[in-house]
Amino acid sequence: MATTDALREGAFPSRPRAPQSGPWARHLELLWELVRRDVRARYRGSVLGIGWTLLNPLVFMLVYALVFGSLLKVQGPSGKPYLVFLLSGLLAWTFFQQALVMAASSIIANAGVVRKVAFPWMLLTVSTVTAALVNFLISLVLLVPFLIASHSPVGLPLLALPGLIVVTFGLCLGLGLMLAAGSVYFRDLQYIINLATMVWFYLTPVIWPLSRYQGFFGHGKLGVLAHVIVYANPMTWVVVSFQDIFVFNRWPQHWHGLIYTTLLAAALIWFGVLVFRRLRRRFAEEI
Amino acid sequence: MPEAPIVVEELSKRFRIYHQRSETLKQALVDRRRSRYEEFWAVRDAQFEVPEGETFGIIGANGSGKSTLLKCIAGILVPDRGRVSVRGRLASLLEVGAGFHPDYSGRENIFLNGAILGLPRRYINSVLDEIIGFAELEQFIDNPVRNYSSGMYTRLGFSIAIHMDPDVLLIDEVLAVGDEAFQRRCMDHIDSMRQEGRTLVFVSHAAETVRNLCDRCLWLEHGRERMLGPTGEVVDGYLEDVNLREMAALSSSGHAATGPGWMGVRITSVTVTGGAGHEGLTSTGESLRVKIGYEAPSGLRRARFRVSFHPAEGPELASVQTDDREMDERLLPSRGEVALEIPELPFLDGVYGTKVEIEDIASGRAYVTLDRPQSFRVHGPGRREQGVALVGHQWVLPALDPSAVSA
């Protein structure tokens, strides 16, 4: 170890100092390392590896198709293949749900690091949500065979996909930051979010098209309330837009919903960062 | 003149001690009133600067706030009052190991840690072999760190921290782990970093380590500054204080008398007197007298007295007993005193405890035993001698060479 010996002689000035990345480059590099870790750690030691990313939504799709499509005779949009309809919504939903669940434990799961190293801990949450995004992008491959098999054309509207994904990512990140920081203080949040997303799923038009939700829950007060919730649910507009692109091969139709969702995502990120900054002061003590 | 690399201004840190920790949402909602906590100040009004190139020590007993203060400097804890600023790249070794991800291999953790410290990947690539070599982990570097022993963990953490080329390095007790050889190499490396003008903060309760390493020192007591200044003075003050406490603890933990033991024999008093006649106080090379008062209803025949000495913590150092042949012929009265005289005590600076035993020579059965009835403080001769015992010695140096002197 010649270099170490040189150091020992006090030859420090002649040794070049390690370069320091600028603040942004630094955060990006760290984020990159963390995302790599999160994506890889997820499948570490599993035989199927990345296959789980595909198998998971695939099995869910088949189960839902069997239960709702075949047994309960739920109809997709008329004249459109139910499987493609189901899968396009399900993939978007899975991204959202996984991102939230993973984000909720992102700080707690890294307790060892948080207790010992100071760095923008927020990146831990950002990286889990990004890792969920990577999984989601991989899982989009699943759509290909179904689109081909059902002769569903997909064209220019695909260009709306990146913007849509950014908005979804924003939703996940905003909520994820709050959940991640909150979970440090209230561990129950991790389990609550699991249950909450289960209920949330049925208030998102993944299994039934949005049009079927009209009067779906009856016309009583409860029905109206559920109706309002479905419309206020930002994931409704994400899922519906996915279906527009992949099922109908058309540009997303619900502009109002999308603008609302975009604004909400921005607000959630703003608020999420605020909450996170406020709560992180005692992370190292409470974790 | 630029600001010092580390500036701590009136820093205070408060912790919450939960009586009934409401860790779950249900508890938090249901027992809103009961979820009370007490606050206590772990660090109070700490104020100091560490100029560039200085090695700064923080000493104090366990729970005195050393680590809390260090974590505030590291930016892990946010102070409740005051301010801390650190200039330059900071690396820290807090407790055992840096923040590792257990499922990640050693190699991957190196990259992750580097990224956390803001080093470009290509730089880490360039020092990767050095890091692995210094940590002696060539064989295990691709195994997940969860399978590492605590020594391997520490070696890797230390190796990463020093190779990240930090301007400021914070070290918390880590050197206590790891084997002797590695500790020495760490010390060497820390020394070379000092020579290179890096700024180091070193937290320890091992006073001698601090004495060897640090230029200046802060002594914390219950979170407050007790003393701040040149290491020699602060460490001396700290050690004196530790010794006094140890003495008090040793004396109060034992009794100077026992109840009746076998055959009704009991020890009624034990006093330890130093050369100048002070009770419980002497100096290396001076005399020590241990006086044992006893009671034995039917007198003591064929008894063996034994006195042993030990440091506050640790094994026995020495034990002396009466001559069996001499005691065989002697009947001691039913009440009396036996004294042990040590003309030149070889023990070095520290606090020592005693143990007194009276047993039957023939059977070896103890009449009565008294552990730690009295402790005593020994003032050492100086700093050239270390350890527990004074060894008579002489240094032989090469003959004076007149030409070398003039050069």
- Give A-chain residues touching B75 at CB under 8 angstroms: 118
Query: How many CA within 13 A on the CB side of residue A268?
Result: 20
List, as ranges, residues 4-23 from B with C-beta within 8 Å of A: 15-16, 23
| Dihedral sign, Cα of residue A277, residue A282, residue A284, residue A287 | negative
A214 lies in some domain: yes
Distance CA B276, CA B291 (A): 15
A186:B28 CB<8 A: yes
- Give A-chain residues touching B39 at CB under 8 angstroms: none
Percentage helix, strand, coil, to 5, in chain A?
75, 0, 25
Distance CA A253, CA A242 (A): 10
Tens of pLDDT, residue by residue over A29-53, are: 889 888 888 887 777 666 667 777 7
Q: B42 phi and psi, to 5 degrees?
A: -80, -35
- Give B-chain residues touching A12 at CB under 8 angstroms: 192, 195-197
Distance CA B144, CA B132 (A): 14
Which of B35, B105, B127, B192 should be substituted to probe chain A, the one whose Cβ sees the most A Cβ atoms within 10 Å?
B192
For residues A149 and A226, the answer to whether their CB atoms sit within 8 Å is: no
pLDDT at position B263: 84
pLDDT at position A65: 87
Tens of pLDDT, residue by residue over B142-186, are: 988 888 887 888 888 888 888 888 889 998 876 666 677 887 888
- Give B-chain residues touching A32 at CB under 8 angstroms: 115
ipTM: 0.78
Which of A3, A4, A279 should be substituted to probe chain B, the one whose Cβ sees the most B Cβ atoms within 10 Å?
A4
pLDDT at position A106: 93
Instruction: Give bridge partners of residue B356 from the DSSP assignment.
Output: B307, B370
A8:B192 CB<8 A: yes
Is the pLDDT at A7 greater than 60? The verdict is no
B78 touches chain A (CB under 8 A): yes
Domains of chain B: 1-88+179-252 (3.40.50.300), 90-163 (1.10.8.100), 254-379 (2.70.50.60)
Instruction: Name the pLDDT band for B306 (thresholds 50, 70, 90).
Output: very high
How far, in Å, are B162, B238, B314, B338 from residue B295 at the CA level?
64, 41, 31, 11
Q: Which among B300, B298, B291, B290 is positioned nearest to B361, based on CA atoms? A: B300
B130:A19 CB<8 A: no
The lowest-confidence range among B36-40, B77-81, B173-177, B343-347 is B173-177
A136 lies in some domain: yes
Nearest to B76 among A44, A186, A284 (CB): A284
Average pLDDT score over chain A:
86
Distance CA A56, CA A49 (A): 12
Instruction: Name the pLDDT band for A251 (thresholds 50, 70, 90).
Output: very high
Q: Which among B354, B351, B359, B361 is positioned nearest to B289, based on CA atoms? A: B354
A–B CB contacts, 8 A cutoff, strictly below: 118
Q: Which among A242, A135, A126 is positioned nearest to A175, based on CA atoms? A: A126
Q: In the structure encoding, which two tokens stand for residue B359, read together?
A: 């047993």
A15 lies in some domain: no
List, as ranges, residues 182-201 from B with C-beta within 8 Å of A: 188-189, 191-193, 195-197
User: Which range has the top average pLDDT, B162-171, B175-184, B274-283, B312-321?
Assistant: B162-171
Q: In the structure encoding, which two tokens stand for residue B211, read together?
A: 């004495």
Give the mean pLDDT of B80-103.
80
Distance CA B280, CA B11 (A): 40
Residue carrying structure tokens 């979820």: B35
pLDDT at position A177: 97
| Greatest Cα-to-Cα distance within chain A, rounded to the nearest angstrom | 84
A235 lies in some domain: yes
| Dihedral sign, Cα of residue B154, residue B157, residue B163, residue B166 | negative
pLDDT at position A14: 43
A278 exposure class (CB count in 10 Å sphere: 0-12, 13-18, 19+): exposed
Long-range own/partner contacts, residues A2-10 (CB < 8 A, 24 or more apart): A3/B130, A4/B130, A4/B134, A4/B189, A7/B189, A7/B192, A7/B193, A7/B196, A8/B188, A8/B189, A8/B191, A8/B192, A9/B192, A10/B192, A10/B195, A10/B196
pLDDT at position A176: 97
Q: How many domains does chain A have?
A: 1
B115:A33 CB<8 A: yes
A239 lies in some domain: yes
Q: In the structure encoding, which two tokens stand for residue B381, read together?
A: 């001769």
Name the 3-class secondary structure at A62.
helix
A208 lies in some domain: yes
Residue A283 or B175, more confident: A283
B75:A118 CB<8 A: yes
For residues B234 and B219, the answer to whether their CB atoms sit within 8 Å is: yes
Instruction: Name the pLDDT band for A96 (thresholds 50, 70, 90).
Output: very high
Instruction: Give bridge partners of residue B279 from the DSSP assignment.
Output: B273
Instruction: Give bridge partners of residue B57 from the DSSP assignment.
Output: B202, B217
Instruction: Give bridge partners of residue B352 from the DSSP assignment.
Output: B311, B376
Residue B179 or B9, more confident: B9
Tens of pLDDT, residue by residue over B196-232, are: 889 999 998 778 778 888 899 999 999 999 999 999 8
Show which residues on chain A lie within 8 Å of chain B, measured between beta carbons: 1, 3-4, 7-10, 12-13, 17-21, 25-26, 29-30, 32-34, 37, 41, 44, 110, 112-119, 186-189, 192, 281-282, 284-285
Nearest to A3 among B111, B116, B130 (CB): B130
Q: B18 phi and psi, to 5 degrees?
A: -85, 130
Q: Please indicate, yes or no, whether the overall pTM of this predicted structure exceeds 0.95.
A: no
Distance CA B184, CA B191 (A): 10
Distance CA B235, CA B208 (A): 8
A285:B28 CB<8 A: no
A186:B24 CB<8 A: yes
A53 lies in some domain: yes
Distance CA B194, CA B200 (A): 7
In b/e form, how buried is each residue of B152-177, taking b as 16+ CB within 10 angstroms? Answer: bbbbbbbbbbbbbbbbbbbbbbbbeb
Residue A98 belongs to domain spanning: 22-286
| Dihedral sign, Cα of residue A261, residue A266, residue A267, residue A271 | positive
pLDDT at position B179: 74
Q: In the structure encoding, which two tokens stand for residue B160, read together?
A: 């990463």
Q: In the structure encoding, which two tokens stand for residue B283, read together?
A: 């100096």
B375 exposure class (CB count in 10 Å sphere: 0-12, 13-18, 19+): buried
B75 touches chain A (CB under 8 A): yes
CB atoms within 10 A of CB B133: 14
How far, in Å, are A250, B46, B238 from residue B224 at the CA level?
69, 7, 14
How far, in Å, are B3, B7, B53 from residue B215 at the CA level?
19, 16, 10
For residues B116 and A119, the answer to whether their CB atoms sit within 8 Å is: yes
Residue carrying structure tokens 């004076």: B400
Is the pLDDT at A10 greater than 70? The verdict is no
B116:A189 CB<8 A: no
B74:A118 CB<8 A: yes
Which of B16, B30, B39, B77 should be substituted to probe chain A, the one whose Cβ sees the most A Cβ atoms within 10 Å?
B77
Is the pLDDT at B33 greater than 70? The verdict is no
Nearest to A116 among B89, B99, B102 (CB): B99
Tens of pLDDT, residue by residue over A186-225, are: 888 989 999 999 999 988 999 888 887 776 677 778 778 8
A19:B119 CB<8 A: yes
CB atoms within 10 A of CB A259: 12
List, as ranges, residues 374-403 from B with C-beta within 8 Å of A: none
List CB contacts of A100: < 8 A, sequence separation 6 or more. A172, A175, A176, A179, A193, A197
Distance CA B299, CA B265 (A): 9
A4 lies in some domain: no
- Give A-chain residues touching B76 at CB under 8 angstroms: 114-118, 284
For residues B116 and A117, the answer to whether their CB atoms sit within 8 Å is: yes
Which of A8, A27, A117 should be substituted to probe chain B, the one whose Cβ sees the most B Cβ atoms within 10 Å?
A117
Residue carrying structure tokens 């491959």: A141
A116:B94 CB<8 A: yes
The alpha-carbon gap from A189 to the nearest alpha carbon of chain B, in Å, equals 7
Q: B56 phi and psi, to 5 degrees?
A: -110, 130
- Give A-chain residues touching B116 at CB under 8 angstroms: 30, 113, 117, 119
pLDDT at position A9: 40
The alpha-carbon gap from A136 to the nearest alpha carbon of chain B, in Å, equals 23
pLDDT at position A5: 40
Nearest to B116 among A3, A9, A119 (CB): A119
Residue B313 or B222, more confident: B222
Is the pLDDT at A22 greater than 80? The verdict is no
The alpha-carbon gap from B3 to the nearest alpha carbon of chain A, in Å, equals 20
What one-character-per-residue DSSP string does A11-60 give? Answer: -GGGSPPPP---HHHHHHHHHHHHHHHHHHHHHTT-SSTTHHHHHHHHHH
Distance CA B276, CA A246 (A): 98
pLDDT at position B405: 54
